[in-house]
Structure 1
Amino acid sequence: MIVLFLYFRVSWIKTISTRAPGSLFFVAALILICLFVPSFKMQTYVHSSLTSLLKSNLTSNIRQSIHVPDGTLDNTRAGKRASKVNRDLTERGRRKFKMLGRKDMLAINRKCSHRMPNAIIIGVMKAGTEAFSTFLTINPQVAMSLNVRSTLFFSSRYSKSLKWYKQQMTCSTSNQTTIEKAPQYFPNSLAPKRIHSMNKNIKLILLVRNPIDRAVSHFLQMKNSHPKRLRGKNFEDVVFTRGGPVNPYSVFIRFSKYSSILRNWLRYFKLSQILILDSDQFVKKPMQALAKTESFLGIQHYITKDKFVFDKQKGFPCLNVTGIPKCLGSGKGREHPKLRNTDYYKLKAHFRRYNEEFFRMTKKRYTW
C-alpha cells in the first residue's frame, strides 16, 4: 500500500515539476503531510489541492507559451456557448433570418439568454401563422424561432420540464420580446390551463380565416404530408357522411368551430389578452395587421409598407427587406379545389351558428 501510495505521489511530482517547477516545494510538503497524517479528510484535501494546482498552472503555462492575455480563454468559452446557441437554429431558420435581414440573430458572439415567452401565437392552423410570424420577425425587437416545428410543449410534450421548454426558446436580449408560434395549441383542450399556470398575464395572438377555407387548406396539407391518415381521396369524402350531412367529428370541421374552442381559452384568459386578427385582411394588407400587433406587444413600430411586394400570380405578399423580393414556400397561396355549390352551402349552414357565436364572443364581425 505504501509503495502504491508513493508511486502515485511521485507521478504527480514528475508532472508538476515539468509544468510548474516553482510549486515543487509546496507539493512535497503536501505529500509529507499525507504520509505522516493518514487521515481520510487530509488525503482528500491533498488530492484536491494538487488537482487545483495542476489545472491553474497548466492554464498559466498555456497562456505564457502562446502569449494569450488574461481573460481570452474565458471569452473563448463564452464564444463556444454562443456558438451552441447559434446551432439551435435549423438551416430553414437560418435562411429565414437572412431573408429578413436579421444578422443580429445569426451573430456568433451574441450576448443573449433563453427566456420564457412574453407572447404565444396560438393559432389557428392553416390561417397564415407561418407567414405572419416570419413577417413579424422583421422587427428587431422580436425574438422568435423560425424553425419549421413548434415545441408542442403545452399540447403533447408537457411531461418535459419548464426548464426544457425555456431552452427551446430563441436566445434573446433583455430588450427583445420572446414569442413562440404554436398553432397546435388552439384546439388542444389542456393548453389554456397549462399556459395560464406558467404565466397568467401572457399575451396571445390568434389568426382566424373563413372556416371552410381553413378546413380545405388543412385537408390539402394532410394530403400532401400524411396521405395515409386520410380515409378518403377528396375533401368531400372526409367531411361529409355517406348520407350527405356534414360529419361533425371530422378533425377538419372541429378545428374550424372557433367559438367552441375559444370558449375554453376565455375560462383562463381575458379577451383583452388575446389579439384576434383576420387572416384574409393580413394577406391583403400585411402592414396594418403587423402594426396592430406591434402596438399589442408594446414594441416599437418598425415594419413599414415598403418591406412588402405583392405576388399577383399567387395572390400573396412577399418580402422586400434586403432589396431583393423573396417569397415564402411554394405552399403559400396554393390553389384550392373548387367545391360544388351544394357542398359549399351545406358547410356554410353548418358553420353559421358557430360563426355567429364567435362574432358575439369577440365583438367583431367577419365576412364569413
Structure 2
Amino acid sequence: MLKECNILRRFTCRRNIFIMYGVTISVCFFIYMVSILVLSSVTSGDAILRTNNVRTLQTSYDDVTGTDNTDISSNLNSGIMTSGSSDLNQRKEQKNKWNYNDKQGSLFLDDEDIAHQKKKSRTRGLHIDNKNKTKRLPNAIIIGVKKAGTRALLEYLRLHPDVKAPGPEPHFFDKNYNKGLNWYRNLMPETSKGQITVEKTPSYFVTKGIPERVYRMSKKMKLIVVFRDPVTRAISDYAQLVSRNPNVKSFEEMVFVNNRTRIVDTSWTIVKIGVYAQHLARWLEYFPIRQFHFVSGENLIKNPASEMQRIQEFLGLEQYITAENFTFNQTKGFPCYKKETKTSGWHCLNEEKGRRHPGIDHSVKRRLEDFYRPFNIKLYSMTGQDFGWS
C-alpha cells in the first residue's frame, strides 16, 4: 500500500512538471509571434514613410515659369495703384502649397545651408576657417534698384572678411532660372563656416515672378533694396542709355506720351522702375517687412559708414566696416574706399560712376516729381522710412 502511494505521488509530480513546461512554451511562443507582428508593422511603416519622402523630395525646383516685364496700368498718371485680386489669390494658394510641402520635408536648401542660415550669433568673430570651404546659396540678395547705388553697396560689403559675393550679376531668377539651382550655386564663391554669401541683381526688384522664385528657394532670405530719388534715378538711367546710344531721343521726348499734355509715359522702363511702392507690394506678398533692409542711395554717398553700420547689423555681422574705410572724392562726387585702413590704398569705382547727367528742364523735373509723389508717400508708409524726396 505504501509503495502504491509513492508511485502515485511521483506520477502527480511529473504531470505538474509537464504542465508547467507546456505553459512556459506557450507563453514564449505567444511573445515571439507578437514581436514578429510589431516588427513587421514598423518595417512597413518605415518603407511607406521613405517612399513618401522620396516622392516629396523629387518636387521640381524648375516648375515655375514666366518672367514678364513689369506691367504698370495706364491709371498710374492719376496716382492710383491697382492689382488683380485673382492673381493675388492664386499666389497665396500656391504659397500655401509650398508651405505644406516644406512641412512634409521638401527642402530647396540642403541641410548644410539650412544649418548655416539658422545660426543665431549676431557676431561672427571674423574667424575664417580655410578648411572645408564650399559653395553655398546666398544668405542675402541685393534685389534693387538699378542706378541707385547697388554696385557701390556690394563693393563696400566686400570689405568685410565674412562676406563673399560672386563677380558679375548672376541674373538667375530672371534670365537663367531654367538652368537650375545647382548652376546658381556653382556661381557662388567658396565660403567657410561663419561667412555669408551675398549676390546682387537689381532687375529682380522690378520683374514679375521673382518674389515667388526666391521664396521657393528660401523663405528666410534677407533682402536688401537701395532706393534713390526716382527722378534723379531716371535721369541717371537715361545718361547711361545715351552713353551707349548717342542717337537716342531726348529725355523730354521719351518721358512724355505727348509734350503738349505732359502725360508721363508709364510704358517706358526708365519711368516704371521708379514706382517703388508697386514693386515692393509684390515682394511683401511673400516676405515679411522684417526680412527687408532699405538703404538710402543718397545717404550711401554722403555718409556710407552710417549706412554700412545698419547693414552689418541687419546681416548679423561684426561691425568691421567703419568711417576709416571711406574718403570722399570731390572730383567724382562719390566715396572711395579701402579694405585695410592702415596698409591698403584707396580704391574708387570705375569711370561710369559719377557720369555727368544731361541738362533737363526744371519744368520736366517738376512734372515727374508730381507723378512720383503719391508713390513715394506710399513707400514711406510701407517701409516706415522717409527718404526725403520731393
- What TM-score bracket applies, with the shorter chain setting the length? 0.5 to 0.7
Q: Kindly indicate whether residue 269 of structure 2 is the aligned counterpart of residue 281 of structure 1.
A: no
Tell me which residue corresponds to 2:114. Answer: none
Tell me which residue corresponds to 1:15. Answer: none
Q: Kindly indicate whether residue 371 of structure 2 is the aligned counterpart of residue 355 of structure 1.
A: no
Matches within 5 A, 1:152-163: 152-163=171-182
Tell me which residue corresponds to 2:388. Answer: 367
Q: 1:334 deviation in Å?
A: 1.7
Deviations 1:174-225 (A, max 9, x none): 1101111111100011110000000000100000000011111112222323
State the structure with bigger RCO (CA 8 A, min sep 6), 1 or 2: 2
Q: Kindly indicate whether residue 259 of structure 2 is the aligned counterpart of residue 238 of structure 1.
A: no
Report the residue type matching 2:254 in the other structure.
V
Task: Report SS of the residue matched to 1:206.
Answer: strand
Q: Distance in 1 between matches of 2:321 and 2:311?
A: 11
Task: Report SS of the residue matched to 1:120.
Answer: strand
Q: Distance in 1 between matches of 2:159 and 2:347?
A: 13
Report the residue type matching 2:349 in the other structure.
L
Q: Distance in 2 between matches of 1:342 and 1:159?
A: 45
2:164 to 116, 140, 143: 143
CA contact (8 A) 2:140 2:221 kept: yes
Matches within 5 A, 1:184-223: 184-223=203-242
CA contact (8 A) 2:239 2:355 kept: no
Larger Rg belongs to: 2
Task: Report SS of the residue matched to 1:336.
Answer: coil
Q: Distance in 2 between matches of 1:323 and 1:234?
A: 43
Deviations 1:68-120 (A, max 9, x none): xxxxxxxxxxxxxxxxxxxxxxxxxxxxxxxxxxxx99xxx875211011000
Matches within 5 A, 1:1-368: 111-145=132-166, 147=167, 149-225=168-244, 227=245, 232-242=248-258, 243=260, 244-321=262-339, 322-368=343-389
Task: Report SS of the residue matched to 2:211.
Answer: helix
Consecutive unaligned residues in structure 1, runs of 5 or more: 1-103
Cα RMSD of the aligned pairs, angstroms, is 1.8
Report the residue type matching 2:283 in the other structure.
W
Q: 1:338 deviation in Å?
A: 2.7
CA contact (8 A) 2:255 2:271 kept: yes
Consecutive unaligned residues in structure 2, runs of 5 or more: 1-127
Report the residue type matching 1:239 in the other structure.
V
Task: Report SS of the residue matched to 1:299.
Answer: coil
Report the residue type matching 1:233 in the other structure.
K
Q: Distance in 2 between matches of 1:360 and 1:328?
A: 33
Task: Report SS of the residue matched to 1:233.
Answer: coil
Q: Distance in 1 between matches of 2:198 and 2:338?
A: 23
Deviations 1:239-276 (A, max 9, x none): 11234321111101100100010000000000110000
Tell me which residue corresponds to 1:52. Answer: none
Q: Distance in 2 between matches of 1:346 and 1:318?
A: 34
Q: TM-score scaled to structure 2, two decimals?
A: 0.63
CA contact (8 A) 2:255 2:268 kept: yes
Report the residue type matching 1:292 in the other structure.
R
Deviations 1:37-67 (A, max 9, x none): xxxxxxxxxxxxxxxxxxxxxxxxxxxxxxx
Report the residue type matching 1:116 in the other structure.
L
Q: 1:320 deviation in Å?
A: 3.1
Task: Report SS of the residue matched to 2:252.
Answer: helix
CA contact (8 A) 2:141 2:198 kept: yes
Q: TM-score scaled to structure 1, two decimals?
A: 0.67
Q: Distance in 1 between matches of 2:344 and 2:221?
A: 35
Q: How many residues align?
A: 257
Q: Distance in 1 between matches of 2:234 and 2:132?
A: 43
Deviations 1:261-294 (A, max 9, x none): 0000000000110000101001111111111111
Report the residue type matching 2:217 in the other structure.
M
Report the residue type matching 2:198 in the other structure.
I
CA contact (8 A) 2:257 2:263 kept: yes
Q: Distance in 2 between matches of 1:209 and 1:312?
A: 20
